[in-house]
């Protein structure tokens, strides 16, 4: 999330009285025998920056196109601001879509490209110029206004496409992989700008991405999709810290999964025995019967070298450092557990690299706390 929490909208999805701006009700899209989108329901609130995240082919673009009215659902309804728009054509929906390819007109100047939609709406000339100028300023492309799309960079084209979508003041803006064509640095800058812009204009954004970092940085909430279905909807923090399945846990960031089964419960905590050959103790509020097979998920940055390793220590593993990836700010260690899995641990490089304690081939014992991981049943 960008910015301190008080700058973000209050969380309307927590409020049972809040009315969603966009409501997707049991929407399915079939192409022949393929369920591109399979029984999806979602409620998205005004001012949200909502991301659909999933691997290629999971149905993101199809869902977005149905929201825009460019595809007709095979079943289900779509409501915008309380009105059923399922059978309403695209140009009559309060929606604008920015395509993956940007689709700028090559023969028109930047200014004309941005103005295009307003001309179609037959807005008076003075108002058109004013709104175009405002958008060019906002996106810092005013000095490019006389150029054609082939005379500007990929990042600048992306801004023009965004200006063209925003100038119409849509209530709902749909973005399909909006930053896909940008290099890493420019993408990061644009992510921040996009969030600022969205907050200033109060538009509801629904974006599609396969880039988890992008979704994490920009979104109020993320829906993770797999094979046409939504598998989890939550805030970036919720998705990262409390994934509801192995699939989501492994899709977002890296995670160590230790298989086992529940052998005891004491209060808020369960005791788990399994793969690592010693007990694990985890906070778990979900009621789980003894014997339930589970996986304990621990993110690499939640592991720490042990202060005191003991033979029956809880939540401890020991192994040999097999690989080190030095990334500057952090290093990633791959530690081979005897007769067990490879464990990944990330440590911040507080000391310069030459003074770091851990090196290749070294034995290391690691531990984690009962609250810094999840117990997964799916």
Sites of contact with ligand ADP (CB under 6 A)? 31, 34, 36, 54, 56-62
Which of ligand ADP, Mg ion, none has residue 212 at its interface (CB below 5 to 8 Å by kind)? none
Contact 282, 375 (CB under 8 A): yes
Instruction: Supply 231's token pair.
Output: 């598998």
Q: What share of residues in the chain are helix, strand, coil (percent, to 5)?
A: 30, 35, 40
* Beta carbons of 218 and 49 less than 8 angstroms apart: yes
The secondary structure of 52-106 as a DSSP string is EE-STTSSHHHHHHHHHTSS--SEEEEEETTEE-TTS-GGGSSEEEE-TT----T
Name the residues that contact Mg ion, by CB under 5 A: 61
Cross-strand bridge partners of residue 270: 265, 282
Q: Return the number of the residue (52 or 366) whose C-beta is nearest Mg ion.
A: 52
Is-contact 173 96, C-beta < 8 A?
Answer: yes
Q: Is 59 exposed, middle or buried (0-12, 13-18, 19+ CB in 10 A)?
A: buried
What is the distance between the alpha carbons of residues 19 and 29, in angstroms, rounded to a whole number? 25
Nearer to ligand ADP, 2 or 181 (CB): 181
Q: How far is the CB of 210 from ligand ADP (least distance, A)?
A: 7
Question: Within a 10 A sphere around the Cβ of 355, how many other Cβ atoms?
Answer: 8
9 binds, among ligand ADP, Mg ion, none (CB under 5 to 8 A by kind): none
Residue least distant from Mg ion (Cβ) = 61
Partnered with residue 265 across adjacent β-strands are: 270
Closer Cβ to ligand ADP, 62 or 217, answer by number: 62
CB of 207 to ligand ADP, least distance (A): 12
Residue 57 binds which of ligand ADP, Mg ion, none (CB < 5-8 A, kind-dependent): ligand ADP
59 binds, among Mg ion, ligand ADP, none (CB under 5 to 8 A by kind): ligand ADP
- Structure-block tokens of residue 39: 């029984």
Smallest gap from residue 59 Cβ to ligand ADP (A): 4
- Identify what 31 binds: ligand ADP, Mg ion, none; CB under 5 to 8 Å per kind: ligand ADP
CA distances from 323 to 15, 203, 326, 327, 329 (A): 47, 46, 10, 13, 17
> Under a CB-based contact definition with an 8 Å cutoff, are residues 315 and 366 in contact?
no
- Residue 105 binds which of Mg ion, ligand ADP, none (CB < 5-8 A, kind-dependent): none
Length of the chain: 378
Closest separation in Å from C-beta 67 to Mg ion: 13
Residue placing its CB nearer to Mg ion in the complex, 61 or 235: 61
What is the spatial distance between Cα 71 and Cα 85, in angstroms, rounded to a whole number?
Answer: 12
CB nearer to ligand ADP: give 70 or 314: 70
- Output the smallest distance, CB 177 to ligand ADP, in A: 8
Residue 265 CA to residue 262 CA, distance in Å, equals 8
Nearer to ligand ADP, 10 or 34 (CB): 34
CB of 51 to ligand ADP, least distance (A): 12
**Among ligand ADP, Mg ion, none, partner that 62 touches (CB below 5 to 8 angstroms by kind):** ligand ADP
CB of 212 to ligand ADP, least distance (A): 14
113, 103 Cβ separation under 8 angstroms: no
Closer Cβ to ligand ADP, 211 or 273, answer by number: 211
Residues 6+ apart with CB under 8 A from 158: 102, 178, 179, 181, 182, 190
Q: Which does 75 bind (CB under 5 to 8 A by kind): Mg ion, ligand ADP, none?
A: none
Q: How far is the CB of 211 from Mg ion (least distance, A)?
A: 12
Closer residue to Mg ion in complex, CB, 219/315: 219
| CB closer to Mg ion out of 61 and 204 | 61
* Least distance to Mg ion, CB of residue 57, Å: 8
């Amino acid at each position: 999330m960008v910015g301190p929490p008080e700058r973000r909208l209050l969380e309307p999805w927590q409020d049972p009285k809040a009315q969603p701006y966009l409501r997707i009700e049991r929407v399915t899209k079939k192409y022949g025998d393929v369920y591109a989108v399979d029984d999806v329901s979602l409620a998205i609130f005004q001012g949200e920056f909502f991301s659909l995240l999933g691997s290629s082919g999971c149905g993101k673009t199809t869902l977005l196109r149905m929201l825009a009215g460019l595809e007709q659902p095979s079943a289900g309804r779509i409501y915008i601001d309380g009105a059923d728009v399922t059978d309403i054509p695209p140009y009559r929906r309060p929606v604008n879509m920015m395509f993956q390819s940007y689709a700028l007109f090559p023969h028109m100047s930047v200014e004309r490209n941005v103005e295009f939609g307003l001309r179609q709406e037959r807005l008076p000339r003075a108002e058109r110029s004013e709104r175009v100028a405002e958008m060019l300023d906002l996106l810092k492309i005013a000095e490019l206004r006389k150029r054609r799309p082939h005379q500007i960079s990929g990042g600048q084209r992306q801004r023009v496409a965004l200006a063209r979508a925003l100038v119409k003041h849509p209530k709902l803006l749909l973005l399909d992989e909006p930053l896909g064509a940008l290099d890493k640095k420019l993408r990061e800058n644009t992510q921040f700008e996009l969030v600022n812009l969205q907050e200033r204009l109060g538009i509801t954004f629904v974006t599609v991405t396969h880039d988890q970092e992008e979704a994490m940085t920009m979104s109020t909430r993320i829906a993770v999709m797999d094979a046409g279905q939504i598998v989890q909807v939550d805030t970036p923090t919720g998705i990262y810290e409390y994934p509801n399945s192995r699939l989501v846990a492994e899709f977002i960031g890296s995670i160590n999964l230790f298989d086992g089964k529940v052998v005891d419960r004491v209060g808020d905590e369960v005791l788990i025995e399994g793969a690592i050959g010693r007990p694990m103790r985890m906070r778990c509020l979900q009621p789980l019967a003894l014997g339930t097979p589970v996986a304990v998920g621990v993110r690499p940055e939640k592991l720490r070298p042990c202060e005191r390793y003991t033979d029956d220590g809880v939540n401890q593993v020991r192994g040999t450092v097999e690989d080190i990836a030095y990334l500057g700010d952090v290093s990633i260690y791959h530690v081979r557990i005897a007769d067990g899995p490879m464990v990944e641990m990330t440590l911040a490089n507080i000391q310069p690299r030459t003074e770091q304690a851990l090196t290749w081939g070294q034995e290391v014992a690691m531990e984690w706390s009962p609250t810094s991981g999840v117990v997964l049943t799916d």
